[in-house]
Structure 1
Amino acid sequence: MTTSKERGESRELVEMAWDPITRIVGSLGIYAKIDFARKEVVECHSTSSIFRGYSVFMKGKDPRDAHFITSRICGICGDNHATCSVYAQNMAYGVRPPALAEWIVNLGEAAEYMFDHNIYQENLVGVDYCEKMVAATNPGVLERANATEAPHAAEHGFRTVGDIMRSLNPLEGEFYREALTMSRVAREMFCLMEGRHVHPSTLYPGGVGTVATVQLFTDYLTRLMRYVDFVKKVVPMHDDLFDFFYDALPGYEQVGRRRVLLGCWGSLNDPEYCDFTYQNMNDWGRRMFVSPGIIVDGELITNDLVDINLGIRVLLGSSYYDDWAGQEPFVTHDPLGNPVDMRHPWNQHTIPRPQKRDFTDKYSWVMSPRWFDGTDMLPLDTGGGPIARLWSTALSGLVDVGGYVRSTGRSVLINLPKSATRPETTFEWKIPERDGELLSNALERNRARSYFQAYMAACALHFAEQGLNEVRQGRSQTWKPFEVPDEAISCGFTEAVRGVLSHHMVIRNGRIANYHPYPPTPWNASVRDVNGVPGPYEDAVQNTPIFEENPPDTFKGIDIMRTVRSFDPCLPCGVHMYLGRGKELRKLHSPHAYATG
C-alpha cells in the first residue's frame, strides 16, 4: 500500500495490478491506483509486454500470401484478418469477385460474429455477472436478485434475476452450457463456407474456393435456424440482467463510462455495389450491411470510408518504438489525389526499441492509433465492436436488409422469423441513454453484444437467400483470375469481432514494400499518446467508481474487470492481483484459455 498527495488533499491510494490479461498482441496488464475511502479509481495504465512484428516481416513477401500470413495474427478471429487482407488485395489487383463469392464470405463472417460474441458473452464475460461472482463481491445485490422477478421470464424461461445469474455459473449453469453448444453450431456454419476455422482454407483474392450447392446453403440454414431460436432467448435475458444492475446499484451507469468516441469501419459488402476500387470506396462503403462511421459525443461525424482512411494517425508517445519522422514516405497521395499524412499506416515504419517499463515515460508495446478530425487526435474506441457498429448503423440510416434488418436514424430494428419453438420476434436496439445522457459504458457494451448476435442472425438469413438465388440461377462461379501489379497501394476495411480492422498495403516491384494491419486491440488498448491523452481502457477504468462491497484486503476488483472485459479484450487463463509491493492477493483461473484480437 502506498500513500500520496494529490490536488492538495491527503489521499491513501492502493496500487493494484492485473497482469497478464492475455490478448493477441501480447499480455495485457492493467495497473491502477484506487482510493478506497472515496470508492473510485484514480489512475490507470494499460500495458502490453510482447512485441509481434507482423509489419516487419511482411516486407518482401509475395502479396498473394498476405491473407495466409496475417490470419495467423490471431487464434480466434484470424478469418477477420484474412478477409480484410483479401479486401486489400482485391483493391490492389483490380479484381471484383463474383457475387456468389461475396455472399459466401458474408455468411462466413456472420457465423464468426455469432460464434465469437456468443462464447465471449456467455462463457467469459458472463462469469462477471454470475451468481458465484456476485455473491463474492456484492452479496446484498444477489439477495435482491433472488427476490426480483425477471420482466421477460416468458421469453427466456428464468423466473428471477437470481435464476439468470445461476444459469451463468461456469460449467454448472444451464445457460452457460447451452451457449457452449451453440458456439459449436456457429463454428460449423463458418466451416461450411470457408473450409476451416480460424484460418480459412477457401478464401482468396478474387473470390473463394468453396463449392457452392443448394445442399451447402441448406446445411448452413439448418444450423442458422437453431441459432435464431437461441438468440430470441439471449436478448431479453440480458436486457433483464443489465437493467437490474442499474436498478440495484444506483450510479452503476458510471462503471466503465467514457466520452462517446466510437469508430466503426463497416463490414459485410454488398456485391451489387462493391467493386473494391478506392475511387468508389465512399459509395460502396455506405452500401455495407454494417455502416461505417465516426461518432463523437453521440453524433455521426462521417460515414465516408475515404475520409475515415485519410484521418487515421499512428502516434507513439508511451510505446516502445522510435519515431519514423524524417523517413522517406511510401505514399504521398491517395488514388484520388488527396495528401497522405506521414503518420498514416501507409507510411508507418515499425522501429522497436525495447526498454524498461516506466509509467512516466514508455510502458507498452501498443502504439496509439488516433483519428484526426481536422483539429484533434481522437482516441476512438470500438466498445468491443457491437456498440460502435450498431450506433453507426443506426445513425447512418442506410441499411434495409430484405425485411430482416433496418436502421431508422436513431435505432436498429431486427426481425427474426418464426423458428422451431419461438414465434416471429422483433428486437430494437436503441442508442443508449439514461436520464437524458448518452451512455458508452460497461453494461451497454455488453448489451450491444447480445443485440448484435441477433443482427447477424437476421443478416445471415438474407445472405443465404441471395446465395441460393445465385446457385439456382446458374451463376455458380466463385472466383475470378487476376494479375499482381508491379506497383500499387491499397487498403481493406472491415470489422473484426471486437471492432475496427484495416489492412494497408504498398506493393513495389511486385512485392510487399509496406504492410500494416490494425485490429481493434491497438485502438482500445492504446496508451498515452504524445499529447498525454490516455487510451480507451485507461480512460474508462480511471473514471470507474467502485461498488464492490469487499475491503482492500479481500478486494477482487470486479468493477474494474467488468470495465476492461466489456471491451472484449482477450481474456486470461489466470489473473494475478497484487498490492504495490508485489503481495499477491488472489489468483483467479478461467476454465478457458481464450486468445482473440
Structure 2
Amino acid sequence: MTATEASVPSTEQSKLVEMAWDPITRIVGSLGIYAKIDWAAKRVVECHSTSSIFRGYSIFMKGKDPRDAHFITSRICGICGDNHATCSVYNQNMAYGVRPPHLGEWIINLGEAAEYMFDHNIFQENLVGVDYCEKMVAETNPGVLEQANRTEAPHAADHGYKYIGDIMRALNPFSGEFYREALQVSRYTREMFCLMEGRHVHPSTLYPGGVGTVATHQLFTDYYTRLMRYVEFMKRVVPLHDDLFDFFYTALPGYERVGYRRTMLGCWGSLNDPEHCDFTYQNMSDWGRRMFVTPGVVVDGRLVTTDLVDINLGIRILLGSSYYRDWEDQEMFVTRDPLGNQVDRRHPWNQHTIPAPQKRDFEDKYSWTMSPRWFDGTDYLPLDTGGGPLARLWTTALAGLVNTPYVRATGHSVRIDLPRTATKPEVSFEWKIPQWSNAIERNRARTYFQAYSAGLALHFVEQALAEVRAGHSKTWEKFTVPDEAISCGFTEAVRGVLSHHMVIRGGKIANYHPYPPTPWNGSVRDVYGTPGPYEDAVQNTPIFEENSQENFKGIDIMRAVRSFDPCLPCGVHMYKGDGKPLHVMHSPAMLNQF
C-alpha cells in the first residue's frame, strides 16, 4: 500500500512552518507530533508521530513462569493495566486448556465494563472536554464562542444547559459544573471495578481459570447501585455531547476534515459470553463472534471479517521507521497455527525485539514505535481503533450479532435501551454509523460506548445474580501448565485493540508479545512508506484556529490527535524548532494552560 502523505515540492518549503508538540503525555512523555503547516492554505501538509520511550516487555518476559504473565504485563500501563491482565489471562486460558466457571467470566465482564465506563468518562469529560471548553474556545476561536453563546441547545431539556456556550462553560477545568461532576463519577465507577477485581488498575483477584472474587448477593447489589447512578448520568451525557459536537459541524463548515482519515478500523472484540467461549483456538472463530463487542475489520465502510482466526493470521509487525533491527535471520517459533494455517514470519508469535537506538531522522528512523499492520491478502492496512469506541461500535453495528435486553446491533446502528432510574424515565439511544472517521465522530462514539457499556453491565449483573441464586458459586477452575504451547488472547483495551501472543517451551515463556492500541494508532511510516494513523489523521487537517502564527496554539491538530485517546494531556507544550526551521515562529504559546 502506498503512502498517503502530502507531497510538498522543495520550492514551497519556505512557505511552511515547522512545529512540534512534544511531549503529549498520559503518564510518561513519550508521544510527540511534528508537523509542517502551509499557512497560505491553512492546512497541515506533513506529520510525523514519535515515541521516545522503549519498554522492552517482550524481552524480559522470556524465561518467566507463564502464570506470572498477567501480573507482569498489567504493569505495562498505569491506566489500562487491567485490560492487559485480562488479555493475558485469556491468553493463558488458551495455553492451559482451562475454561473458567460462568460466574467467573461474568465477574470479569463486570470489571471490564466498569473500566470502560470509568476511563472513557474521565478522558472524555476531564481531558478531551478541555479542548471544547469555554476557555479554550475563547483563546482559539472567539467567533465560535460568540455563536455558541447565542445558539440554543436542541436537547436542553435532557441535560439542563440552555445554550451551547453553557455546555462549554460547564466543561471548564475545575470551575465547570459538569467537569467537577464527571470527577465524582470517575470515583464510583472505579469502585465498581474494585468490587469485581479487587484493585484498580492492577487486579488482585484475576487469574487464569477465573477469579478469586467471593461472589455474594451483596457484592452485586453494591455494584448495581453504583451502576444505576451511572445510567442516570448517561441520560444527560449522550444528548449533551450530541449537541456540542453537532454545533461544531454547523459553526465551522468543513470541520469534518479535522482528524479525518480513510475508514480502516480494527476491533478485536471484548466481553466474552461464557455460554459459548471455551478459549480453544479451534473454536475461536465461533466464540469470537459471540462476544458482546463483535470483533471485525472495517474498510471503506465494508465489514471485511468478523473471524478472530482471520484477524490473528493477518497481523503483521513491520519495522519501517522504527529503532529496531530486523529479525529475518532469527528463529521462527511458530510455522503453523493449531488449525494448520501458515503463520507469517512477521506475526507476533515469531517476532524478535532487537532494539537499535540511533539519532532521530525523519527521513529514516525516528521512533520506538513499530508499525503493526493487518494484511488483507493484498495490502498492509494501517488500521486504527477510532480511539476504541468508534471501531467497536462500527463493527458491532455492521455485524448485527449482539442482542441483549439492553443493547442490540441492527446491521446499521447500535440501539441502547436504558431502564428507568431514580429521577429519569427509560431512555433509548441509537448510535448510527457516521459518514466519516474523524475527530468529532471518534469523540461522539466514546460517549455512546459509555452508555453501551452500562447497558451490557446491567445484563451481566442479572446473569451473575442468576448464577448465585442457582447455587453456582464457583468462580475458578484449576489448571496445569503444559510443557509446550502456543496461545493468543484478544480483547479491547479502553482505547482499542489488544492482543497477547505467547509461546511456551519447557514450561517457561519462550516468546511473548503484547500489542495494545498505542502501536497501532501511533505507528510510524512502515517499509512501504505508509504513515501511521496519527500521522495520517493530522496530515491534511485544516486549520480553523483564528489566532495568528505568533499566538497559534494548534487546537485543531490537538483535537485530531486526542480524539484517538492517545495520552492524558497533562504535559502538552509547543516547541518551535530552532535546529533547521523552515520558518521561525516567535513567542510560541503553551497549548494547555489549565
Shorter-normalised TM range: over 0.9
Change (3 A) 1:422 1:107: same
- Deviation by residue 1:510-531 (Cα, 9 ceiling, x = unmatched): 0000000000000000000000
- Does structure 1 retain, via aligned residues, the 8 Å contact 2:396–2:409? yes
1:32 corresponds in structure 2 to 35
- Does structure 1 retain, via aligned residues, the 8 Å contact 2:550–2:587? no
* Correspondence list, 1:217-228, <5 A: 217-228=220-231
2:62 corresponds in structure 1 to 59
2:195 corresponds in structure 1 to 192
- Does structure 2 retain, via aligned residues, the 8 Å contact 1:26–1:52? no
* Correspondence list, 1:169-568, <5 A: 169-401=172-404, 403-433=405-435, 439-568=436-565
2:142 corresponds in structure 1 to 139
2:154 corresponds in structure 1 to 151
1:130 and 2:133 are equivalent in the alignment: yes
> One-letter code of the match for 1:246?
Y
Instruction: State the alpha-carbon separation in 1 of the partners of residues 14 and 256 from structure 2.
Output: 25
- Deviation by residue 1:368-424 (Cα, 9 ceiling, x = unmatched): 0000000000000001000000000000000001x2000000000000000011110
* Correspondence list, 1:55-134, <5 A: 55-134=58-137
- Deviation by residue 1:30-65 (Cα, 9 ceiling, x = unmatched): 000001111000100000001000000000000000
> One-letter code of the match for 2:96?
Y
- Does structure 2 retain, via aligned residues, the 8 Å contact 1:576–1:584? no
- Does structure 1 retain, via aligned residues, the 8 Å contact 2:259–2:538? yes
- Does structure 1 retain, via aligned residues, the 8 Å contact 2:265–2:384? yes
- Does structure 2 retain, via aligned residues, the 8 Å contact 1:26–1:51? no
Q: How many aligned residue pairs are there?
A: 582
In structure 1, the residue corresponding to 2:572 is in which secondary structure?
Answer: strand
Q: RMSD over aligned Cα, in angstroms?
A: 1.2
In structure 2, the residue corresponding to 1:585 is in which secondary structure?
Answer: coil
In structure 2, the residue corresponding to 1:586 is in which secondary structure?
Answer: coil
- Does structure 1 retain, via aligned residues, the 8 Å contact 2:8–2:45? no
Instruction: State the alpha-carbon separation in 2 of the partners of residues 45 and 571 from structure 1.
Output: 19
CA-CA distance at 1:585 after TM superposition: 1.2
- Does structure 2 retain, via aligned residues, the 8 Å contact 1:96–1:206? yes
Instruction: State the alpha-carbon separation in 1 of the partners of residues 541 and 568 from structure 2.
Output: 20
CA-CA distance at 1:326 after TM superposition: 2.0
- Deviation by residue 1:96-141 (Cα, 9 ceiling, x = unmatched): 0000000000000000000000000000010000000000000000
CA-CA distance at 1:22 after TM superposition: 2.2
Match of 2:170 among 167, 171, 186: 167
> One-letter code of the match for 2:113?
A
> One-letter code of the match for 1:426?
S
In structure 1, the residue corresponding to 2:462 is in which secondary structure?
Answer: helix
Instruction: State the alpha-carbon separation in 2 of the partners of residues 148 and 253 from structure 1.
Output: 20
Q: Which runs of 5+ in 2 are unaligned?
A: 1-6, 580-585
Instruction: State the alpha-carbon separation in 2 of the partners of residues 373 and 300 from structure 1.
Output: 12
- Does structure 2 retain, via aligned residues, the 8 Å contact 1:258–1:543? no
2:577 corresponds in structure 1 to 580
Q: Which runs of 5+ in 1 are unaligned?
A: 434-438, 592-597
- Deviation by residue 1:278-324 (Cα, 9 ceiling, x = unmatched): 00000000000000000000110000000000000000000000000
Instruction: State the alpha-carbon separation in 2 of the partners of residues 235 and 21 from structure 1.
Output: 27
Q: Percent identity at matched positions?
A: 81
- Does structure 1 retain, via aligned residues, the 8 Å contact 2:124–2:443? yes
- Deviation by residue 1:9-44 (Cα, 9 ceiling, x = unmatched): 575100000001125786100000001111000100
Q: Which has the larger displacement, 267-276 or 576-585?
A: 576-585
Instruction: State the alpha-carbon separation in 2 of the partners of residues 153 and 11 from structure 1.
Output: 48
- Does structure 1 retain, via aligned residues, the 8 Å contact 2:553–2:591? no
Instruction: State the alpha-carbon separation in 2 of the partners of residues 476 and 9 from structure 1.
Output: 70
CA-CA distance at 1:590 after TM superposition: 6.7
Q: TM-score, normalised by structure 1?
A: 0.96
Instruction: State the alpha-carbon separation in 2 of the partners of residues 413 and 357 from structure 1.
Output: 47
Change (3 A) 1:24 1:91: farther
- Does structure 2 retain, via aligned residues, the 8 Å contact 1:257–1:440? yes
Instruction: State the alpha-carbon separation in 1 of the partners of residues 139 and 358 from structure 2.
Output: 39
- Deviation by residue 1:466-520 (Cα, 9 ceiling, x = unmatched): 0000000000000000000000000000000000000000000000000000000
In structure 2, the residue corresponding to 1:269 is in which secondary structure?
Answer: coil
CA-CA distance at 1:586 after TM superposition: 2.3
Instruction: State the alpha-carbon separation in 1 of the partners of residues 168 and 26 from structure 2.
Output: 27
Q: Which has the larger displacement, 267-276 or 15-24?
A: 15-24
Instruction: State the alpha-carbon separation in 2 of the partners of residues 249 and 392 from structure 1.
Output: 29
1:594 corresponds in structure 2 to none
Change (3 A) 1:26 1:96: farther
- Does structure 1 retain, via aligned residues, the 8 Å contact 2:25–2:572? no
- Does structure 2 retain, via aligned residues, the 8 Å contact 1:25–1:48? no
> One-letter code of the match for 2:536?
D
- Does structure 2 retain, via aligned residues, the 8 Å contact 1:185–1:223? yes
- Does structure 1 retain, via aligned residues, the 8 Å contact 2:551–2:587? no
Instruction: State the alpha-carbon separation in 1 of the partners of residues 168 and 487 from structure 2.
Output: 47
- Deviation by residue 1:243-288 (Cα, 9 ceiling, x = unmatched): 0000000000000000000000000000000000000000000000
Instruction: State the alpha-carbon separation in 2 of the partners of residues 425 and 301 from structure 1.
Output: 33
Would you tell me which structure has more strand in proportion to its own residues?
1
Instruction: State the alpha-carbon separation in 2 of the partners of residues 557 and 569 from structure 1.
Output: 17
- Does structure 1 retain, via aligned residues, the 8 Å contact 2:384–2:520? yes
Q: TM-score, normalised by structure 2?
A: 0.97
- Does structure 2 retain, via aligned residues, the 8 Å contact 1:5–1:11? no
In structure 1, the residue corresponding to 2:17 is in which secondary structure?
Answer: strand
> One-letter code of the match for 2:22?
D
> One-letter code of the match for 2:500?
H
In structure 1, the residue corresponding to 2:143 is in which secondary structure?
Answer: helix
> One-letter code of the match for 1:142?
L
> One-letter code of the match for 2:84?
H
Instruction: State the alpha-carbon separation in 2 of the partners of residues 334 and 511 from structure 1.
Output: 19
CA-CA distance at 1:565 after TM superposition: 0.2
- Does structure 2 retain, via aligned residues, the 8 Å contact 1:261–1:380? yes
In structure 2, the residue corresponding to 1:477 is in which secondary structure?
Answer: coil
> One-letter code of the match for 2:373?
R
- Deviation by residue 1:157-213 (Cα, 9 ceiling, x = unmatched): 000000000000000001000000000010000000000000000000000000000
Instruction: State the alpha-carbon separation in 2 of the partners of residues 97 and 323 from structure 1.
Output: 39
- Does structure 1 retain, via aligned residues, the 8 Å contact 2:319–2:526? yes
In structure 2, the residue corresponding to 1:494 is in which secondary structure?
Answer: strand
In structure 2, the residue corresponding to 1:42 is in which secondary structure?
Answer: strand
In structure 2, the residue corresponding to 1:325 is in which secondary structure?
Answer: coil
- Does structure 2 retain, via aligned residues, the 8 Å contact 1:167–1:176? yes
